[in-house]
Chain A
């Protein structure tokens, strides 16, 4: 029963979210060293002792354990995650804003990578052992082995040499022209009806997104190449050929269909790995997403922000894993009904 499975997965996801909260508790309270000291950013100097005292009260370290846990949970769900030491703003706001910026690039990257990857992977599978296939395979190996942030640095240098400026998420002159609704400049500019801003934001997002798409693209090509080659030997595919069904139509309907479940599941997992790429490429291109937020937090020992980002990104992962898993089950009619 599909519905039962979906429910089971959703319940598990919620339990994992609680696990994430518990883990953040562990990371705050049970790490070596004085938690309050870490929480206020390891201060030094005259005002330090006072700051630590404030933190002790804020974190509730002077209260019994079960009250602490209760407070952590209520604080989490009321989005009161502390104040960022670096940005002097609520952690929740910064964390979600950074996540939106990162997701922008990530989603565009995957939208490019998956269809293109399926196409190239199918071609490789259909013409296995040909020169084209070997070339495609070599390309995927190189892409997987290349440090994406290094490619980003190279791209930046080349673009700068060509006097093309794609730094940041939006041009300074365009910033006041739109109202922020979702936090995504691309979407907000469309909502505000400013096409020029939209184009600017889009052009600045494309190079990073393309670089991020390199890894999932290579991975999809590999998976489709092997999976499809296998499916092309499946009994029901050969039978379809015998009946006279042929060409791309046969490949699409009879072979590719069964590649989708595995692909969906793996893509859900790949997003976790890609995120490191997004973070680093963001740093290179100056996009204020999770990567730069983290990079700015570290030198300030901005522990609240780091934990906030951890929570937000983990939840994004949970959602992505669950969705991928459900899609994986959805495509197979043997599970439905």
Chain B
């Protein structure tokens, strides 16, 4: 299956300009995250450390077209004097990690529960569909807030909250597909021939479900990135003390109270978030267009 995936990806890169662009941008982001981890100018500050030297340069403005207070701090410094560029660079890998974790975990949970719901007895089915509807209704950021109170702040809290609110969407898709597959003759034949349920699931149901849900997930990637950042933004605004972990959204949220003076703390990370989300959105769009022959048709006005 891996070989098929890489073959498909190669074809996709060749055929879809959108996907190419999105992939390039995302790759650039991955590169940046590596840079952030090994070569950022003020690595310690990037991770949150406030050195006494930093305190001497609190709130330094960034380098703009006509004024550059300090060339070694291209993006200026935050309220504690830490170099903003380093903070953003270190934060890149956090942003990527968060998106990937949420996607993978909610995909796994969603597909698992969705297939279970679609291919079990009626009781389990009804129960799981109910659970799916129930979790769909949960507002992600409030659940996140509850988790923050109980578990404390940290990357894991927000990821958990998001996984809990996103898995129902993938479960629903998987469930619909599995229900459709069940009606098909080849599944019935397998059952009659005595194949075990596990065998049918792994050999027939999963290969048909996984690609479709995967495409949906990749399409969601951009929105997930923004949602994670938004929730962290809220947590950042609520924070009483300065943020250590250089999560983009949190930096921006905490920086909101300085919006009139140190506006760059909120604005600069946002540009990076925009670029990352754009890359993900373009990849998702390119992928769905490639998959759906309808979308690829040439169009012109009929009227």
CB atoms of A and B under 8 A apart anywhere in the complex? Answer: yes
B-binding residues in A (CB < 8 A): 12, 15-16, 19-20, 23, 27, 31-33, 38, 42, 126-130, 141-142, 144-150, 153-154, 156-157, 160, 226, 229-230, 232-233, 238, 241, 246-247, 250-251, 272-273, 275-277, 279-280, 283-284, 290-291, 294-299, 301-303, 306-307, 309-310, 313-314, 317-318, 321
A144 touches B222 (CB 8 A): yes
B226 touches A232 (CB 8 A): no
Partner of A303, one of B134, B149, B249: B149
B301 touches A160 (CB 8 A): no
Known contacts: A157-B259, A273-B223, A280-B230. The answer to whether A12 contacts B133 by CB under 8 A is yes
Known contacts: A27-B146, A128-B299, A313-B142. The answer to whether A20 contacts B274 by CB under 8 A is no
When chains A and B are docked, how far (Å) is the Cα of A227 from the Cα of B285?
A: 15
Binds A, one of B178-186, B187-195, B200-208, B233-241: B233-241
A-binding residues in B (CB < 8 A): 130, 133-134, 136-143, 145-146, 148-151, 222-223, 226-227, 229-231, 233-235, 237-240, 249, 252-253, 256, 259-260, 263, 266-267, 270, 273-274, 277-278, 280-282, 285, 294-295, 298-303
Residues of chain B within 8 A of A233, CB atoms compared: 302
When chains A and B are docked, how far (Å) is the Cα of A153 from the Cα of B148?
A: 24
Known contacts: A129-B298, A150-B267, A306-B146. The answer to whether A291 contacts B282 by CB under 8 A is no
Least CB separation from B165: chain A residue: A272
When chains A and B are docked, how far (Å) is the Cα of A160 from the Cα of B260?
A: 9
A147 touches B273 (CB 8 A): yes
When chains A and B are docked, how far (Å) is the Cα of A294 from the Cα of B237?
A: 10
Interface of A is mostly: helix
A145 touches B277 (CB 8 A): yes
Q: Rank and list the top 10 A-B pairs by shortest CB-CB distance, nearest first.
A: A150-B270, A128-B299, A145-B277, A145-B278, A295-B238, A298-B238, A19-B134, A313-B139, A145-B281, A310-B142
Residues of chain B within 8 A of A295, CB atoms compared: 234, 237-238
What would 17 A/B residue contacts be, using CB atoms closer than 8 Å?
A16-B130, A19-B130, A38-B149, A126-B302, A127-B301, A144-B281, A147-B226, A147-B229, A149-B233, A272-B137, A276-B230, A284-B256, A294-B234, A299-B240, A301-B149, A306-B149, A310-B138
Of the candidates B142, B273, B303, the one having the most CB atoms from chain A within 10 angstroms of its own CB is B142
A306 touches B300 (CB 8 A): no
Known contacts: A32-B150, A230-B294. The answer to whether A280 contacts B267 by CB under 8 A is no
Residues of chain A within 8 A of B282, CB atoms compared: 141
CB distance from B139 to the nearest CB of A (A): 5
When chains A and B are docked, how far (Å) is the Cα of A114 from the Cα of B130?
A: 30
A144 touches B223 (CB 8 A): yes
Residues of chain A within 8 A of B280, CB atoms compared: 145
Interface of B is mostly: helix
Known contacts: A150-B266, A284-B256, A299-B239. The answer to whether A15 contacts B130 by CB under 8 A is yes
With A19-B130, A303-B149 already in contact, 9 other A-B pairs whose C-beta atoms are closer than 8 Å:
A42-B149, A126-B303, A129-B298, A144-B277, A147-B273, A247-B303, A276-B139, A307-B146, A317-B137
When chains A and B are docked, how far (Å) is the Cα of A290 from the Cα of B277?
A: 25
B230 touches A310 (CB 8 A): no
Residues of chain B within 8 A of A301, CB atoms compared: 149
B139 touches A298 (CB 8 A): no
A298 touches B137 (CB 8 A): no
Residues of chain A within 8 A of B140, CB atoms compared: 276
B303 touches A250 (CB 8 A): yes
